[in-house]
Structures are given as C-alpha cells and as structure tokens.
C-alpha cells in the first residue's frame, strides 16, 4: 500500500473514487472546458509563476488522460501503440594504432541500450515519439558503458530521439519533425541508424502496370543540422532526393540518390575551424540471388562531385579523396525463432565520400575526442565486417560482429588501424 505522505501530500489521504464516481467525472471533462481552464491558469501564472507553471503541467496531463480514458470507454479511441527494446553488449578492441605510431590500450566494455516509444494512429496520419539512453552529444551511439561516467550507480542520461507527425493519402506521404533517416539504404556506412534528422520529408508513389516493375517512389527532404538564426540558406543543412525502384517482386531493387550538405563544420560539436559543402551521388542496389535461400548481394557507390582542388583549408593529400564503395553478401534472416543470418561486407570509403560524424561509428574506435567531441570519424578507411546472428526467439536475437580496418590516407606518420569484436543480445517488447 502506498501512503500519500510518501509523496509529500498528506492532504490527499482519505480521498477515494469509485468507478461510478470516475465515470461521472469523465463526463464533465470536455476539450472546451479544458481550453477555458488553461487560459484562466495562464493568466494566473503571471501572478505566481512557479506555482502555476507546474499546476498548468499537471492540468494538461490530467485532462488529456481523462479525455483519452473517456474515448477508450466509448470505443472511439484511435490506435495507440507502445514499443520498446533493450540491448546488452560485450565489446573488445585491440590492435588500435594511432596516427603517431603508438597504440591505444586494448579495451573491454560492457554496454547497454534502452529505447521506448509511443505512436498515436488515425486514418491518414500518425504522431509519435521515442526515448533512448545515450550521451546527448553523441548522436551516433545510444549505448552506455557500465560504470563509465555514471560511477557509483548514478542516474542515466535519457533523451528524445524521435518526435514526428506523419501523414499519407492518395499516394502522397510526408513527415515533419525528427524521425528515422527516410531514404533507402542497405547499411550504416553512409548514415548511422542512430542519427535521426530534423526537418521535413515528402514522398510520392507512382503507379505501374508493368510486370517487370513493382514499385516506383520519389523521395525529397530538407533537414537542418544546425540553425543559424538567420535565413534558411545560412543554416548547416542537408537535402536529399532519391528514386526507389523495385523489380520482379523485389528480386532487384535500385535506389539512386543525390545528397547535398551545406555549411557543415569540418569538426562537430563546435570544434570546427571552417565549413564545407558536400554534393554526393549515391548508386545503391540489392539483388536476391536465391530467393528461397535468402541469399542477397548489396552494392553501394558514392561520389562527391564537389571540387576541393582550390580549398586551402583541406590538406593537399585529401582533396581528391571523394569516392567510396561498399559490397555486402548475406544469407538468411532473423525474423522467426531459430533463424540464422550470415553476412560479409567490404568497405572502401575515402575521406569526403560521406560526412563522417553522421555515419556509423561501429567499425573502429576513431573519434574527435582530441577536439572535444565524442563523435566518430569513420571515413578514410578500408575494412571488413563479419556478422553471425541467431534468433533465440521471435523477439530476441544474438549477434556476433567482427571488424578489421585500416586507414587509407594517414593523418600522421602512420596509418591508423583497429580490430573489434562484439557480442549483442537484442530484445524487443
């Protein structure tokens, strides 16, 4: 039994509502009354700011919950869904050479991640948000390391990674806010799954009667990395356009795209000394070689067609480092209990083939920590990824990932290197 004194509200003792009383109260809570009450509370807030600010928050939550409960009882409430997941990871790093020729200490980490979100669905639109653990300054990585930065069992940092409004009708669709990277991709080597862009996105499905072509979609988006407080063209921003085409019941998928990055700092989190523009062509494809065996070949090519030859800010030996490719071969899936997945990937990404602090930071422990930023810098490398996965249940998966990388163009006297292995347990609920 919970005593109201535990919450510092002993005056609440003895107040008991029966279910009939609650039903009667709910009949009184209409949105018009809520609006009038909120206006009244807003006026009084100027008279006693601290008290009425928190009173207003409580009123909004209470009346919103009451209205939702009334809709549930009447059977008219739209679909509200909840989803969450948890990850636990064991990670080992070794053979991590720095640009000065010395080696970083071998490192073992125990890590975990938690995420939870809610989605409210109506006939043509949905609204949602999701919370996650993670350093707020490290958009690429929601994992936390046991005992690191939160010693003596301190509280964990949790932030809002998604908050969006999405609509769809007559073949058109859009979303506004902060949401999942909306363009088709096969891996995280150009854009991390943990980085959620902020802006607006529009797509259009084109009908087709061809027996060869299944689906054609056009996708456009504008996203703001950092607002300038001036006109939109002064922001650090990212624009994308993509054509998605599916053939032969998705046996072949093509998704060419153009990505434009403008006014992007060379180093994230305020450590930059100049800004850069990127204009990147992406040619992406996937082919199901054996449909019944789920054997799939993936290929991505990137080319940044900006001319850096006259840029004094960029080192001479990096000015032509603008292309990249990724080749992947996978067998199996992890959709059902006892499913297996095997995947081998090779990546060769030059320095300016992607914005490195928006791409994954999984393959090596290279970052911008010497410039005061925790973000990863995973371009300018070649390497392999080996993945083995097993579904111990429909909602629980074990994965092992091995990485071996080497730098393409050294920043010092030696090329950086790295070896890493991970063991993940992922559970959805």
| pLDDT per position as a tens digit, 317-332 | 999 999 999 999 999 9
Let me know whether 50 and 115 are in one domain. Answer: no
Hey, is 83 helix, strand or coil?
strand
| 1 within some domain | no
Domain edge (last residue) among 59, 74, 89: 74
Whether residues 56 and 182 share a domain: the answer is no
**C-beta of residue 165 within 8 angstroms of C-beta of residue 176:** yes
Residue 44's pLDDT is: 38
Same domain, 105 and 25: no
- The band of 36, judged by pLDDT with boundaries at 50, 70 and 90, is very low
Query: Which residues are CB-neighbours of 393 under 8 A, at least 6 positions away?
Result: 337
- The pLDDT score that the predictor gives to residue 26 is 39
DSSP state for residue 227 in the 8-state scheme? -
d(CA 360, CA 426): 18
On the question of pLDDT at 46 being above 60, the answer is: no
Q: Please determine, for residue 413, whether its predicted confidence score (pLDDT) is greater than 50.
A: yes
Average pLDDT over residues 268-278: 94
**235 and 95: one domain?**
yes
Give the per-residue pLDDT at 70. Answer: 57
pTM of the model: 0.81
Residue 121 placed within a domain: yes
The number of folded domains in the chain is: 2
Alpha-carbon distance of 391 to 292, in angstroms, equals 19
Lowest model confidence (mean pLDDT) among 12-16, 193-197, 295-299, 315-319: 12-16
Residue 191 tokens read as: 């854009």
CB distance 406 to 417 below 8 Å: yes
* Among candidate residues 26, 52, 74, the one where a domain is terminated: 74
pLDDT computed for residue 20 by the predictor: 44
Q: What pLDDT is stored for residue 171 in this prediction?
A: 83
User: Out of 204-213, 283-292, 380-389, which region has the weakest mean confidence (pLDDT)?
Assistant: 204-213
Query: Domain of 421: which CATH number?
Result: 2.40.160.10
Q: How confident is the model at residue 78 (pLDDT cuts 50, 70, 90)?
A: low
Chain centroid offset of residue 371 CA: 24
Q: What pLDDT score does 177 carry?
A: 97
End-to-end CA distance of the chain: 28
Confidence of residue 28 (pLDDT cuts 50, 70, 90): very low
Whole-number average pLDDT of the chain: 86
pLDDT at 307 exceeding the cut of 70: yes
Q: Which domain holds residue 334?
A: 79-428
Bigger pLDDT: 171 vs 361: 361
């Amino acid at each position: 039994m919970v005593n109201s004194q535990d919450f510092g509200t002993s005056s609440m003792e003895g107040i008991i509502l029966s279910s009939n009383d609650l039903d009667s109260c709910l009949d009184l809570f209409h949105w018009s009354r809520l609006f009038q009450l909120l206006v009244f509370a807003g006026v009084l807030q100027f008279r006693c700011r601290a008290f009425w600010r928190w009173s207003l928050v409580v009123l909004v939550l209470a009346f919103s919950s009451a209205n939702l409960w009334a809709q549930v009882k009447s059977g008219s409430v739209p679909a509200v869904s909840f989803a969450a997941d948890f990850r636990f990871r064991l990670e080992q790093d070794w053979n991590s050479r720095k640009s000065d020729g010395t080696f970083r200490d071998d490192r073992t980490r125990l890590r975990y991640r938690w995420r939870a979100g809610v989605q409210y669905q109506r006939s043509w639109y949905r609204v949602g948000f999701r919370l996650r653990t993670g350093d707020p300054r490290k958009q690429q990585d929601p994992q936390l390391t046991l005992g690191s930065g939160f010693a003596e069992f301190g509280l964990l940092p949790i932030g809002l990674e998604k908050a969006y409004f999405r609509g769809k009708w007559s073949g058109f669709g859009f979303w506004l806010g902060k949401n999942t990277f909306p363009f088709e991709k096969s891996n995280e080597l150009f854009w991390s799954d943990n980085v959620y862009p902020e802006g607006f996105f529009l797509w259009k499905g084109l009908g087709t009667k061809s027996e060869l072509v299944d689906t054609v979609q056009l996708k456009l988006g504008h996203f703001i990395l950092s607002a300038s407080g001036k006109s939109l063209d002064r922001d650090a921003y990212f624009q994308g356009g993509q054509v998605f085409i599916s053939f032969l019941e998705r046996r072949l998928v093509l998704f060419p795209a153009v990505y434009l990055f403008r006014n992007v700092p060379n180093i994230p989190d305020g450590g930059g000394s100049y800004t850069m523009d990127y204009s990147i062509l992406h040619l992406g494809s996937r082919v199901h070689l054996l449909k019944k065996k789920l054997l799939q070949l993936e290929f991505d090519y990137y080319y940044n067609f900006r001319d850096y030859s006259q840029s004094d800010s960029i080192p001479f030996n990096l000015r032509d480092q603008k292309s990249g490719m990724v080749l992947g071969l996978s067998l199996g899936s992890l959709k059902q209990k006892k499913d297996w997945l095997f995947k081998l990937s090779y990546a060769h990404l030059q320095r300016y083939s992607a914005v490195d602090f928006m791409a994954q930071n999984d393959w090596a422990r290279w970052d911008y920590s010497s410039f005061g930023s925790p973000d990863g810098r995973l371009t300018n490398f070649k390497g392999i990824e080996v993945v083995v996965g097993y579904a111990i249940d429909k909602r629980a998966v074990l994965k092992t990932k091995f990485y071996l990388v080497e730098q393409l163009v050294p920043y010092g006297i030696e090329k950086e290197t790295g070896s890493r292995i991970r063991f993940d347990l992922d559970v959805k609920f």
